[in-house]
Amino acid sequence: MSEADAPTPLPKSRLVAITLDEKSTATTNSNIEHEREVAIFDIIEGNAFALEGRDDGPYKLNLALADDRLVLAVSSENDEPIVTHMLSLTPLKRIMKDYFLICESYYEAIRTAPPSRIQAIDMGRRGLHDEGSRTLLDRLAGKVTVDLDTARRLFTLICALHWKG
C-alpha cells in the first residue's frame, strides 16, 4: 500500500464517547430524549475537542450537574481520569429558560400551526441555540477548545440535562 492509499489518521483532539450522568438527567419527554440521542451521535461522528495545554486525546466526556454547575469530567480512551472542569450555569440560565419556552412553543406548533408559524418559531429557536453555543464557547475558553458545531451539540446536551419539562 502506498502512502497515498494509507488511511488518514483521526485527530487526537476529539471525543470518542459522551455520557450523561444519570443522576443529573431530569425526567424527559420523547422530544428531549431524541434531541439528546441525536446530539451525542452527531458529536461522535465529527467533533473538535482539545484540552488546553494537552495533546493526549482522544477523550471521553461525562456531563453532569452538581450544585447548579456543569461538570465536565474528561477521561482518556482507556477511562483514566484526566481533568474535571466545573462551570457556573448562571451565564446560560436566561438563554436556557428562553430556549425551553420556545422549544415548547415549537413542539406545540408542529401539531397545529401552519408552516409559516412553525418556520418563524424555529428561526427564534435556532437564534437562541446559537447564542447559547457562543456563550458556552466563551465559558470553555482557557479550559477546552471546541469548534462551533461541537459547542452547538454540547449546548443541546446541557439543555437536555437541565430540562425540567
Mean pLDDT, consecutive 10-residue segments, the chain of 165 residues? 51 91 68 82 93 92 91 96 95 93 90 93 94 96 94 90 66
**Amino acid 1: pLDDT:** 46
Q: Which three cell numbers stand for residue 71?
A: 461538570
Residue type, 95: I
Pairing of strands 69-76, 59-66: antiparallel
**Amino acid 2: pLDDT:** 46
How many domains would you assign to the chain?
1
Identify the DSSP state of 101.
Answer: H
Q: What residue spans of 9-147 are helical by DSSP H?
A: 30-45, 90-112, 115-140
Domain of 72 in residue numbering reads as: 3-162
Say how far apart CA 164 and CA 161 lie, in whole Å. Answer: 9
**Amino acid 10: pLDDT:** 55
**Amino acid 68: pLDDT:** 85
**Amino acid 162: pLDDT:** 77
**Amino acid 28: pLDDT:** 61
Question: How many Cα neighbours within 13 Å face the side chain of 115?
Answer: 0
